[in-house]
């Protein structure tokens, strides 16, 4: 049986839920990578390098439950609404994603029912039990996106939560000495924290999505540094 969701520390006692929508590079059977898409396997287009490891470490250090998607975002993106044009990405680095060419309505429905829906159902279940006061989503991003270099090292994404995002930014910058920015390299105000916002709305709590540059997050020592800084910030802000 396929397992579209991974769970970590589901008995965690803290009133906080961690999610990781792009945790896995895995393309489950019966799908197989077209030869032309092999360039994407292991790349940021397929998943968020380092995000799964960081999420699971945070789950233990925070004593909080974590829900992680166990499939590549190129199969179906759980951080997009079902009517979003990028739910099934068709272009990456200016070239077609062959896996997603000419998807039929039946195929779309199968991917949504088999992967997208179980992921969100698992987060809903975690939220129902934990009754979180904060929902935290963990992601990473590439150093160069379609020719645009990124200097920012850590992003705090939010939608309508500027005071809280600013407090997290200040804590993380002070602790790490890194370049930490609000709503960079993506903006939560543009709907790019879909999953975190969706489940935080259900829980009646704020959502924060933390984005880490993936060249840094791949390094175990730096990943531990980021984990410690985020735990300290969450503790300091009373969550």
pLDDT digits (tens, 9 = 90+) for 10-39: 999 999 999 999 999 999 999 999 999 999
Residues 6+ apart with CB under 8 A from 43: none
Answer positive or negative: Cα dihedral of 233, 208, 97, 69: positive
Torsion, Cα 234 168 80 197, to 10 degrees, reads 70
Instruction: Spell out the alpha helix ranges (H) of the chain.
Output: 51-62, 105-111, 117-130, 162-176, 194-203, 214-217, 220-236
Of the chain, the percentage scoring pLDDT greater than 70 comes to 99
Instruction: Provide the whole-model pTM.
Output: 0.97
pLDDT digits (tens, 9 = 90+) for 198-232: 999 999 999 999 999 999 999 999 999 999 999 99
pLDDT above 70: residue 7: yes
Question: For the chain, what is the domain count?
Answer: 1
Residues in the chain: 239
pLDDT digits (tens, 9 = 90+) for 94-142: 999 999 998 999 999 999 999 999 999 999 999 999 999 999 999 999 9
Residue range 32-60: average pLDDT? 97
Cis ω before 180 (30° cut-off from 0): no
Of the chain, the percentage scoring pLDDT greater than 90 comes to 95
Q: What is the pLDDT of residue 1?
A: 47
Residue range 75-82: average pLDDT? 98
Confidence category of residue 191, pLDDT binned at 50, 70, 90: confident
**Parent domain of 56:** 5-236
Q: What is the pLDDT of residue 144?
A: 84
CATH code for the domain of 144: 3.40.630.40
Q: What is the pLDDT of residue 145?
A: 83
Residues forming beta bridges with residue 6, ordered by sequence position? 68
Residue range 32-57: average pLDDT? 97
Q: What is the mean pLDDT of the chain?
A: 96
Residue range 180-204: average pLDDT? 96
């Amino acid at each position: 049986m396929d397992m579209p969701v991974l769970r970590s520390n589901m008995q965690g006692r803290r009133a906080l839920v961690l999610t990781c929508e792009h945790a896995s590079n895995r393309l489950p059977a019966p799908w197989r990578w077209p030869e032309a898409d092999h360039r994407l396997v292991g790349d940021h287009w397929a998943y968020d390098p380092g995000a799964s490891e960081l999420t699971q470490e945070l789950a233990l250090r925070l004593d909080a439950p974590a829900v992680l998607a166990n499939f590549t975002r190129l199969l179906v993106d759980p951080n997009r609404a079902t009517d979003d044009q990028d739910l099934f990405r068709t272009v990456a680095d200016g070239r077609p994603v062959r896996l997603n060419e000419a998807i039929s309505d039946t195929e779309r429905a199968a991917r949504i029912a088999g992967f997208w829906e179980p992921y969100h159902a698992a987060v809903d279940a975690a939220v129902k039990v934990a009754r979180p006061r904060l929902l935290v989503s963990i992601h990473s991003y590439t150093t160069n996106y379609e020719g645009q270099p990124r200097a920012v090292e850590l992003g705090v994404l939010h939608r309508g939560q500027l005071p809280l995002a600013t407090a997290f930014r200040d804590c993380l910058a002070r602790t790490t000495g890194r370049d930490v920015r609000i709503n960079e390299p993506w903006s939560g105000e543009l709907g790019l924290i879909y999953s975190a916002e969706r489940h935080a709305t259900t829980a009646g709590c704020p959502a924060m999505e933390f984005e880490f540059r993936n060249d840094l997050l791949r390094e175990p020592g730096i990943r531990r540094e980021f984990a410690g800084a985020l735990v300290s910030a969450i503790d300091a802000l009373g969550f």
